[in-house]
Amino acid sequence: MSQKQLQLTALAAELAADFAERAGDHDRDNSFPSENIDRLKETGYTALLIPEEYGGMGGDLEDFILCQEQLAQGCGATAIAINMHLFGLGAMVERASGTPQERLFFEAIGRGRQIMGGGISEPETGGDWGLFATKARRDGEFYVLNGRKTFTSLSPVIDLFMVMATLDEGGKEPRSATFLIPRGTPGLELIETWNSLGMRATASHDLSIKDVRVPAIAMSEPRAVGPIDEQAISLFSWFSYSVAAVYTGVAIAALKWTREFTGRFKPVNLPRPIKHLPGIQFAIAEAEALLAQSRALYLGTARQYMADRAAFRGESGLARPVMAKYVATNNAIRVVDLCMEAVGAHGMLKKFPMERYYRDVRAGVNHPLSNARARELIGKSALGISLAEQPRW
Ligand SMILES: Cc1cc2nc3c(=O)[nH]c(=O)nc-3n(C[C@H](O)[C@H](O)[C@H](O)COP(=O)(O)OP(=O)(O)OC[C@H]3O[C@@H](n4cnc5c(N)ncnc54)[C@H](O)[C@@H]3O)c2cc1C
């Protein structure tokens, strides 16, 4: 690790240790850890990826991955929630061209410590991040937006909602765009729906969007729906590697706890703690191997992307970050299952963190691309079949 990475990951580890103290309470109460977000702001973590000239920490994709792995070991929910702010920022910084709007935006996130989030997933389109049911219709210098968004993590603290919508342009080929909408804009309403199996402390509520007027200047460059362009690769790279890191972090925490527990738990009929049993050792070995495989794949692929972004093109280019996320999130579930097996029924007790890891880690495969979509992309890409080919199957 570089000197900078040592500093950044030390900060992430310190924050994780603090957040771990409250993770169980927030999970039990389904409450939002606002105090964690305050600390992330104070320490500059919310501006991790913003260039230093705007008051950020100037972190890159690899720094981001390493930090999120650490943070998730303390509180998976805080880590995945802040990921929804950071991954989009990373992609924006990567593709920035220095426009006055970009500079203002980076300043707001960097020195202003504002939080961005939400606005992609919908009840109608789920994890299909392309054609959105939310529509934006032009009205003079404004767009008028209508729709509903789901899974709006960080909802209590979002300053700028990042709403993706399909442009309502009559008979034209469909295009989508992203709108940055300040909290408090008339017509935006948060509806408190979030009560989930895992990642409970994310406050991923619904966002209702009714006749919301947004200046056209607050809209990103529209994109055709369908083709995998550079922007899609950038967005999915920052998303996939960081999601992989967060769920791997949860699995690492589970494995650490398992090592500690199996080292101290000694049934009366055994001469030594259960870590001396072959079954425990083999489970730990399998878990270690899975984690090493995940980390090698997502860190390695991310480093290749950073070194040569042009080599990641089209569907085969997208398949690479998607494969890293697919492998890591599925491995993370298997690792926590193995840990559960090793610690026995102790893992089910609410007084221990293991059952929270077990529930939290399950959310990983639901983030796009889901297992089914990832397999389709990776399989078709390997076989030279385009996603657009009809009939699909
Ligand atoms: C903890 C957490 C936090 C989140 N935070 C945010 C957030 O802040 N902002 C945000 O926008 N989103 C967020 N999300 C949403 C998330 O990233 C996904 O968009 C969402 O989980 C997808 O939900 P789904 O599984 O119902 O998807 P769906 O797309 O509805 O899929 C349901 C099932 O159908 C299958 N399926 C559906 N369509 C197809 C198809 N065409 N081909 C093949 N299979 C298909 C899928 O594979 C899956 O098995 C969050 C999710 C979680 C779990």
- Give the pair of three-digit tokens for residue 149: 């968004």
- Are 357 and 277 a contacting pair, CB within 8 Å? no
| CB of 370 sitting under 6 A from ligand 1 | yes
Q: Where in the chain is the domain with CATH 2.40.110.10?
A: 135-223
- Give the pair of three-digit tokens for residue 127: 């994890």
| CB of 9 sitting under 6 A from ligand 1 | no
| CB of 152 sitting under 6 A from ligand 1 | yes
Q: Where in the chain is the domain with CATH 1.10.540.10?
A: 3-114
Read off the DSSP letter of residue 350: T
Q: Where in the chain is the domain with CATH 1.20.140.10?
A: 230-383
| CB of 373 sitting under 6 A from ligand 1 | yes
Q: Which CATH architecture has domain 230-383?
A: Up-down Bundle (1.20)
**How far is 85 from 37, CA to CA, in rounded Å?**
11
Q: Give the pLDDT score at 127.
A: 78
- Are 206 and 191 a contacting pair, CB within 8 Å? yes
Residue nearest to atom 30 of ligand 1 (CA): 126
Q: 170 to each of 75, 137, 138, 311, how far by Cα in Å?
A: 46, 10, 11, 36
Ligand 1 atom nearest to CA at 373: 43
Residue nearest to atom 39 of ligand 1 (CA): 373
Ligand 1 atom nearest to CA at 370: 47
Nearest alpha-carbon partner for 225 in 298, 138, 131 = 131
Task: Please provide the size of the chain in residues.
Answer: 393
Q: Which CATH architecture has domain 135-223?
A: Beta Barrel (2.40)
| CB of 76 sitting under 6 A from ligand 1 | no
- Are 257 and 273 a contacting pair, CB within 8 Å? no
Q: At residue 389, what is the residue type? A: E
Q: Give the pLDDT score at 173.
A: 85
Spatial neighbors of 288 by CB under 8 A, at least 6 apart, are: 255
Taking the domain 3-114, which CATH number applies? 1.10.540.10
Digitized pLDDT (tens) for each residue of the chain, 393 residues in all: 999 999 999 999 999 999 999 999 999 999 999 999 999 999 999 999 999 999 999 999 999 999 999 999 999 999 999 999 999 999 999 999 999 989 999 999 999 999 999 889 999 988 787 789 999 999 999 999 999 999 999 999 999 999 999 999 887 788 999 999 999 999 999 999 999 999 999 999 999 999 999 999 999 889 888 889 999 999 999 999 999 999 999 999 999 999 999 999 999 999 999 999 999 999 999 999 999 999 999 999 999 999 999 999 999 999 999 999 999 999 999 999 999 999 999 999 999 999 999 999 999 999 999 999 999 999 999 999 999 999 999
**How far is 162 from 323, CA to CA, in rounded Å?**
26
**How far is 19 from 277, CA to CA, in rounded Å?**
33
- Give the pair of three-digit tokens for residue 275: 């870590």
